[in-house]
Structure 1
Amino acid sequence: MSVHLVTGGGTGIGAAVATRLADDGAEVVISGRRPGPLEAVAATHERITAIPADAADGEAMRSLVETVKDRFGRLDGVVANAGGHGYDSVTNTSDEAWRSSLEINLTTAFVTARESLPLLEASRGSIVIVSSLAGIRAAAETVGYTVGKHALLGLMRSIARDYGARGVRANAVCPGWVRTPMADEEMGVLVESGGAADVEGAYAAVTKDVPLRRAAIPAEIAGVIAFLLGPDASYVHASTMVVDGGAHVVDVPTLAFG
């Protein structure tokens, strides 16, 4: 029996990852700051356990990992998925907003890794850090989010360099647009600004230059993460897997040519 921890497990990608891993036979612990969504996900599967915790809080995560150890005796995989907003330009970002964005997008993964690595060493386990296409590209007025997601790749590489010899694999996933509650909110902003008639039109607008011409669904990202955690990826280490429907290969200056 394998045991996995998924942060930000109450909605979107995190919930899909938890479901996929549980369906594959793992025991899955999901964490997040809001008990309600976590409990709703846990109620869907007997192998999913909800333990509320702020992934940026060292004491809270230390306690969570101890609970996992006491209850299951081991930890085989971690998905550092907690994240959030950070949308504005440099000059419009306050000190408070900057700190908040880095805490939710970067510190969450750092603290989760720090507290879980001893158990991952013991099991020769794996950690997958969920970054974003914003981790390798930059959208307009998203400085906090972009910097945090870029930094996650540095965190993954540092873990891979230091802990690979100790048997721990570390990789990152960079999703593009995914149909999640957070993305739906962003589509709503586009609708309100007049950029689209409705949410479906907004998704069509933001993916019109993506080679696959659509956003992903959370289960598609979950499948990639499940692969990286599993035995078929036993020699995949320090890799950044971009899962964006091909968006990152588009040569922006040639878009006018079709």
Structure 2
Amino acid sequence: MDADLNGHVVLVTGGGTGIGEAVARRFAREGAHVVVTGRRAEPLERVAAEIGGTAIAADAADSADAAALVARVLEEQGRLDVVVANAGGHGFATVADTDDAAWENALRANVTTAFVVVRAALPALIAARGRVVVMSSIAGLAAGPSVAGYTVGKHALIGLTRSLARDYGRHGVRVNTVCPGWVATPMADDEMDAFAAAAGLTDRDEAYATVTRDVPLARPAQPDEIAAVVRFLASRESSYITGATVVADGGAHIVDVPTIAFDHAGM
């Protein structure tokens, strides 16, 4: 157990699957009481039961839900030390193919979820001199094809992190962003299955190998690897880090795209 986190209370949005589930499990191993939240009760209840935590179904983008969520955490646990704003998704189309409703859904899923929950939690975080970890993506640093809403939302999360860090650092609250690359989660597995079918690849493993071919580490991350970064940013070990963007993408962001063809040519 981590003495920094033992007995602390951690709220993880989107905590029922994927990275959020891995984060919840990591904090529970560190001795924290973990509250997982999301819109689907079943996966939340499964995770909470397995880690000895609490499941609260809520829409992280809804102000009333967020206020009630934080109030319940404080009523039942008496404190709130860490918020991991992990909920996200939506926005997989070009600008021309994104109608008003899809645009609103992308921003709601990727930005409003973090903004609303952290805003509701700020008084408790100030009281605890707490920490916030916002889950962005390498889509917050660069644009992929046909993911306009997702890309804009993930970029916006970095701005949100910086604004929070700037305004609340003097209150003892630290806020940082994590930008993962490909992570082998159920959502990414579905994307790989679709990609494999479209590209005529053999299976999911070949799809992952293809999309990470030009990544220096040449593989996707496992959810536990991203959870370890989140844990570091929420611990005393990172006590002088705030407003930072921590990239965990296997080195993808350092690759000079125009030189990839030279590498493939063996030059």
The 8 Å contact of residues 9 and 81 in structure 1, kept in 2 or not, is answered as: yes
Q: Secondary structure at the match of 2:105?
A: helix
Instruction: Please tell me the residue identity of whatever aligns with 2:10.
Output: H
Instruction: Please tell me the residue identity of whatever aligns with 1:170.
Output: V
Quick one: which of 166, 186, 204 aligns to 2:191? Answer: 186
The 8 Å contact of residues 195 and 202 in structure 1, kept in 2 or not, is answered as: no
Instruction: Write the distance in 1 (CA, Å) between the matches of 2:254 and 2:199.
Output: 28
Deviation string, structure 1 residues 16-65 (Cα, Å, up to 9, x no partner): 0000000000000000000011011112112x211111100110010010
Is 1:125 matched up with 2:150?
A: no
Is 1:22 matched up with 2:25?
A: no
Q: Secondary structure at the match of 2:109?
A: helix
The offset of 1:195, in angstroms, is 4.3
The 8 Å contact of residues 156 and 170 in structure 1, kept in 2 or not, is answered as: yes
Q: Which residue does the alignment assign to 1:210?
A: 215
Q: Which residue does the alignment assign to 1:169?
A: 174
Q: Which residue does the alignment assign to 2:47?
A: 41
- Over 3 Å counting, the alpha-carbon distance change for 1:195 and 1:142 in structure 2 is farther
The offset of 1:68, in angstroms, is 0.5
Once superposed, what is the RMSD of the aligned Cα atoms?
0.7
Instruction: Write the distance in 2 (CA, Å) between the matches of 1:33 and 1:83.
Output: 12
Quick one: which of 219, 238, 243 aligns to 2:243? Answer: 238
The 8 Å contact of residues 204 and 213 in structure 1, kept in 2 or not, is answered as: yes
The offset of 1:85, in angstroms, is 2.0
The 8 Å contact of residues 196 and 205 in structure 1, kept in 2 or not, is answered as: no
Q: Which residue does the alignment assign to 1:150?
A: 155
Q: How does 1:52-91 map to 2 (within 5 A)?
A: 52-91=57-96
Q: Secondary structure at the match of 1:182?
A: helix
- Over 3 Å counting, the alpha-carbon distance change for 1:49 and 1:196 in structure 2 is same
The 8 Å contact of residues 187 and 203 in structure 1, kept in 2 or not, is answered as: yes
Instruction: Write the distance in 2 (CA, Å) between the matches of 1:69 and 1:100.
Output: 29
Q: Secondary structure at the match of 1:87?
A: coil
The 8 Å contact of residues 129 and 172 in structure 1, kept in 2 or not, is answered as: yes
Instruction: Please tell me the residue identity of whatever aligns with 2:57.
Output: P
Instruction: Write the distance in 1 (CA, Å) between the matches of 2:29 and 2:149.
Output: 35
Q: Secondary structure at the match of 1:51?
A: strand
Task: Give the number of aligned pairs.
Answer: 257
Instruction: Write the distance in 1 (CA, Å) between the matches of 2:152 and 2:199.
Output: 28
Deviation string, structure 1 residues 191-213 (Cα, Å, up to 9, x no partner): 22134221111100000000000
Q: Secondary structure at the match of 2:50?
A: coil
- Identify unmatched segments of 5+ residues in structure 2: 1-6
Q: Which residue does the alignment assign to 1:8?
A: 14
The offset of 1:173, in angstroms, is 0.1
Instruction: Write the distance in 1 (CA, Å) between the matches of 2:100 and 2:250.
Output: 35
Instruction: Please tell me the residue identity of whatever aligns with 1:253.
Output: P
Instruction: Write the distance in 1 (CA, Å) between the matches of 2:200 and 2:163.
Output: 40
Instruction: Please tell me the residue identity of whatever aligns with 2:131.
Output: S
Instruction: Please tell me the residue identity of whatever aligns with 2:97.
Output: N
Instruction: Please tell me the residue identity of whatever aligns with 2:46.
Output: A
Instruction: Write the distance in 1 (CA, Å) between the matches of 2:49 and 2:200.
Output: 38
The 8 Å contact of residues 87 and 145 in structure 1, kept in 2 or not, is answered as: yes
The percentage of counterpart residues that share the same residue type is: 58
Instruction: Please tell me the residue identity of whatever aligns with 1:73.
Output: G
The offset of 1:185, in angstroms, is 1.2
